[in-house]
Amino acid sequence: MDTGYYGLRGQIMTRRTNVVFTLGLASLIVSIAEPTAFAQDTIGLGNSKSEMVFQGTGTQVINVVWQNCNSGVCTMEGDATRAADTRSVGTYKFTSASPRAFKLVASSGLGLFAVEQSSAISFSYTSQRGTLAGRAHFTSFLQNQGVVAAHLTGTLEATDGTLASHFAAGPGTLNLTLAVGKIPLSTLVDAAGSIGGTIDTLSSLTPPSPCREASLIPATVHGTPMPGGSIWFNANFSARGIHDGTVLQFQGAFIQFQANGNTYILHVPNAMVTFSSSVSCASTKFDPGTNIWETTVPVSGGDEIFLSGVTFPVPASGLQGGINLVNWSESFGSNTADVSIRWNWAAAVFSSFSTDYNSLGVKPTRGNACLYNNDDPAGTPEKFANLTVGGGRGAASATTPWSETVAAQANCP
């Protein structure tokens, strides 16, 4: 059975839906792009043979130093495989003329860093089935609290090779999983010290897709100030065109907004939703090692299925009401053709919460959930539901009023 991600005539396509919400004097923008993640032409990047060292400078900046340098050429390289052909095992290599091609700049207290790249980084992939050369540009770095793996993301502009045609629509997406040990890199902020790391398995290079479409939907947001606690951002969806064995992938999501003069960027965990005839009720769990929400649902589905969620601890100084700008970007893909979804989101404020997602008791569906026989919406953190306070998108409830619903489709029209 073909388990690739479908588009028109079997090619890998995406469709982008941009959604603008009016927030009184403010606005909220949500965008969905489906899919490039987990596509057939994705190149899987394995363990690197050398490491990079992260060095604290006593400031918000962390220097990144490549260790494998010789005669002015520094490399990070390892084995690679094209997802479309597991026999196509080859090698990949990142190359820079400088051992300090980029550095990290802390952008929040949540393990998120901006990447400032000061030197060109080239990329090459070689195998019996194809070659690829290009220029890499990294943009962000994330290490979730309590997780030993980190994620370095960016883009690749293809310049040559027999596989370059797969990148004709634009840059590809680089998502590098880094093994950095048990000490979080956030401990290097405003401090000295060093931590080594290597490119780990689950890293990937995914080609772009050419389809784009935009739409606008009006909505409103409550302007109640948030003096403290945590915000639970979560989304749910319903789906059509589902079959036994359909797997939906949601990847690369982030939420961005400005408040109190600061810019906040929250990386939403990836999600995988499996529809199976072998289960009679829905369940969800979070894998901190891969940063993925894993939800299993009966084939019958439901009108509300948990998509993903992320916690944002409100700063000690609180947040003003009426946040000016929020961006939610999401990618959606399916392993079966002609799947479409309708999705929306909510944001609730809690006086006490947890960053251990498996302790939240997240409800996977409104109806037919394995553990929670009630009418609470999908995405409700049942074990903290009595700790809500006013703020977010509305009154004190465990999910708050939902946004307008947006339609998206996994293949081109």
Q: pLDDT for 81-97, tens place per residue? A: 765 555 568 999 999 99
Whether residue 110 lies inside any domain: the answer is yes
Q: Are residues 282 and 328 in the same domain?
A: yes
- The DSSP element (H or E) to which 157 belongs, if any, is strand 149-160
Whether residue 1 lies inside any domain: the answer is no
Mean pLDDT value of segment 121-143: 90
Whether residue 2 lies inside any domain: the answer is no
How many domains, the chain? 2
Q: Are residues 358 and 385 in the same domain?
A: yes
Whether residue 361 lies inside any domain: the answer is yes
Q: Please, are residues 229 and 352 in contact by the beta-carbon 8 Å criterion?
A: yes
Q: pLDDT for 95-107, tens place per residue? A: 999 999 999 988 7
**Nearest 5°: phi and psi at 282?**
-95, 145
Rounded CA gap, 41 and 206, in Å? Answer: 7
Q: Which of 188-197, 262-271, 378-387 is predicted with the least confidence, judged by mean pLDDT? A: 262-271
Q: Which among 154, 183, 206 is the end of a domain? A: 206
How would you classify residue 363: left for phi > 0, otherwise alpha for psi between -120 and 50, otherwise beta? beta
Whether residue 86 lies inside any domain: the answer is yes
Q: What is residue 141's predicted lDDT score, i.e. its pLDDT?
A: 87
With a cut of 80, say whether residue 203 has pLDDT above it.
Answer: yes
Please give the residue range of the domain that contains residue 159.
43-206
Q: pLDDT for 261-290, tens place per residue? A: 776 767 788 899 999 999 999 999 998 877
Q: Are residues 202 and 215 in the same domain?
A: no
Q: Are residues 20 and 81 in the same domain?
A: no
**Nearest 5°: phi and psi at 357?**
-60, -30
Q: What is residue 77's predicted lDDT score, i.e. its pLDDT?
A: 95
With a cut of 50, say whether residue 241 has pLDDT above it.
Answer: yes
Whether residue 321 lies inside any domain: the answer is yes
Q: What is residue 322's predicted lDDT score, i.e. its pLDDT?
A: 62
Name the residue type at position 313. Answer: P
Q: Which among 185, 206, 227 is the end of a domain? A: 206
Using a pLDDT cut of 90, give the percent of the chain over it: 35
Q: Are residues 343 and 232 in the same domain?
A: yes
Q: What share of the chain is helix, strand, coil (3-state, %, to 5)?
A: 5, 50, 45
Q: Are residues 25 and 72 in the same domain?
A: no
With a cut of 50, say whether residue 8 has pLDDT above it.
Answer: no
With a cut of 70, say whether residue 339 has pLDDT above it.
Answer: yes
Q: Are residues 22 and 127 in the same domain?
A: no
Whether residue 158 lies inside any domain: the answer is yes
Q: Are residues 202 and 217 in the same domain?
A: no
Q: Are residues 243 and 348 in the same domain?
A: yes
CB hemisphere CA count around 175 (13 angstroms) = 20
Q: Are residues 155 and 284 in the same domain?
A: no
Q: Are residues 258 and 180 in the same domain?
A: no
Q: Which among 169, 186, 206 is the end of a domain? A: 206
Q: Are residues 159 and 120 in the same domain?
A: yes
Using a pLDDT cut of 70, give the percent of the chain over it: 75
How would you classify residue 261: left for phi > 0, otherwise alpha for psi between -120 and 50, otherwise beta? left
Whether residue 318 lies inside any domain: the answer is yes
Rounded CA gap, 33 and 37, in Å? Answer: 10
Q: Between 408 and 378, whose confidence is greater? A: 378
